């Protein structure tokens, strides 16, 4: 077997699997070996069944090329239903739960030929409870949440691709802490059927890879949009640098990465401008939190009614707060969010993309939780596509980067701009 197959990018693996230069079984065995070697320390996987993964790979090797993900291993966040693997949603309430069918996103990936390696650790119902998963860069630190296992497994070369979800900052922040690329598509771009809901107005499905090309390949399947794979620009994008009114919470390493990005882009001839901040920005953080809390009460009504004693104190507190928000107030919140989304074009001005922090700084210690989604809440509320671009390090040697933001529905344009920008940031 060729050495280090598990470290190849998804696009490199896909190219060789398409020509049969590699077999799906070879690639799957390499990833399983890495998991066996490392997961006792990282705890990225909630459920792993090597025999099942290898059976999928052998079936693919015995038949025709299925699709663009033929034979490519995939981690599935344990918030997505899977017909052939347990799905526990990060809660003891659902220990041993066996759904009858795959979530739509999982089915799309299987139909494109992906090998589902197993289920990756999620925080409790994709909320804030600290998981056992550790950051592969240093196990004293968190990988972020709620897509903890998906981000950690990709960063540690256990799998080239993994699915995630974001309701506040659960794709972009873990990608930032783990030093990989995370992509949150425009709201509603990926079907949510079979994915445990937390907040219907905010939940967005996406995923992780170790490069822009990798997440573009995954997103092309999830969004049924092949143009994402080849999206390129002929000219440099105009980039808006957006600090946000929460800049005071940005750690020195984030401030340095922000300044470094502007300098490197300008040096490469990219037009860079400071994007003004709307007065209502801070209020929007609370708006997102209130919508999320109110809708979580509905999404987890059964669990709160029948299994309140098995919910974590942190989640119970969020649900209690959401229960105090009236239906009238929630409708007003939704109307305000819709009105703000209608004005998002003004925020971009004549910029093609915005660059803004993905997280306050490096990953915090694991015993301090999964980190603050402060710099992600606004973009989730607005429903815009976001992609995390890693390129720097903080004082502890942990990854730091920024997220690129695109206009609603302009996922292809964002992917093209990110491909232009990222190499310049990495210089």
Residues marked active site are found at 77, 146, 170
Tokens of 114: 């992906």
Place of tokens 């296992």: 149
Cβ partners under 8 Å of residue 387, min gap 6:
181, 182, 183, 184, 212, 215, 403, 404, 414, 415, 418
- What are the φ/ψ torsions at residue 298 (nearest 5 degrees)? -70, -45
| Exposure b/e, 373-388, CB count within 10 A at least 16 = b | bbbbbbbbbbbbbbbb
| Exposure b/e, 31-62, CB count within 10 A at least 16 = b | bbebbeebbeebbbbbbbbbebbbebbeebbe
Q: Is 115 exposed, middle or buried (0-12, 13-18, 19+ CB in 10 A)?
A: buried
Place of tokens 């700084």: 361
Alpha carbon of 149 to those of 28, 101, 119, 133, 212: distances in Å? 18, 22, 8, 6, 20
- DSSP for residue 201: T
Q: Enumerate long-range contacts of 55-59, CB under 8 Å, 24 or more apart.
A: 56/24, 56/28, 56/115, 56/116, 57/23, 57/24, 57/25, 57/27, 57/28, 57/29, 57/115, 58/24, 58/25
- DSSP for residue 414: H
Tokens of 189: 């771009």
Whether 81 contacts 101, CB under 8 Å: yes
Question: Which of 117, 34, 108 shows the shortest CA–CA distance to 71?
Answer: 117
Tokens of 393: 């390090």
Cβ partners under 8 Å of residue 349, min gap 6:
240, 273, 275
Whether 274 contacts 261, CB under 8 Å: no
């Amino acid at each position: 077997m060729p050495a280090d197959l598990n470290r190849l990018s998804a696009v490199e693996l896909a190219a060789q699997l398409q020509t049969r230069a590699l077999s799906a079984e070879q690639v799957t065995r390499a990833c399983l070996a890495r998991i066996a070697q490392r997961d006792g320390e990282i705890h990225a996987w909630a459920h792993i069944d090597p025999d099942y993964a290898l059976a999928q790979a052998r079936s693919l090797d015995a038949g025709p090329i299925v699709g663009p993900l033929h034979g490519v291993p995939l981690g599935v966040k344990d918030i997505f239903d899977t017909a052939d693997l347990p799905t526990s949603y990060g809660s003891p309430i659902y220990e041993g739960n066996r759904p009858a069918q795959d979530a739509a996103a999982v089915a799309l990936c299987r139909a494109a030929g992906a090998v589902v390696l197993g289920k990756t650790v999620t925080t409790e119902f994709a909320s804030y409870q600290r998981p056992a998963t550790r950051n592969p860069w240093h196990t004293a630190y968190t990988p972020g949440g709620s897509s903890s296992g998906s981000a950690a497994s990709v960063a540690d070369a256990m799998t080239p691709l993994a699915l995630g979800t974001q309701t506040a900052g659960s794709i972009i922040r873990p990608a930032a802490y783990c030093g990989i690329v995370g992509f949150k598509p425009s709201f509603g771009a990926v079907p949510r059927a079979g994915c445990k809901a937390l907040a219907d107005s905010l939940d967005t499905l996406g995923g992780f890879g170790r490069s822009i090309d990798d997440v573009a390949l995954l997103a092309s399947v999830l969004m049924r949009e092949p143009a994402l794979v080849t999206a390129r620009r002929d000219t440099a994008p105009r980039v808006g640098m957006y600090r946000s009114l929460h800049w005071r919470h940005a750690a020195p390493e984030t401030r340095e990465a922000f300044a470094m990005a502007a300098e490197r882009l300008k040096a490469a001839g990219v037009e860079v401008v400071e994007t003004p901040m709307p007065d209502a920005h801070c209020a929007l953080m609370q708006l997102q939190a209130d919508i999320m809390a109110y809708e979580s009460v509905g999404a987890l009504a059964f669990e709160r009614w029948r299994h309140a004693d098995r919910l974590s104190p942190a989640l119970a507190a969020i649900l209690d707060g959401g229960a105090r928000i009236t239906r009238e107030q929630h409708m007003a919140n939704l109307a305000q969010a819709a009105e703000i989304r209608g004005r998002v074009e003004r925020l971009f001005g004549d910029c093609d993309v915005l660059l803004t922090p993905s997280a306050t700084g490096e990953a915090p210690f694991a015993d301090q939780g999964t980190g603050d989604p402060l710099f992600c809440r606004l973009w989730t509320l607005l429903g815009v596509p976001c992609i995390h671009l890693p390129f720097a390090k903080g004082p502890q040697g942990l990854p730091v980067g920024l997220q690129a933001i695109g206009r609603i529905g302009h996922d292809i344009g964002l992917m093209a701009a990110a491909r232009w920008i990222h190499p310049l940031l990495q210089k």
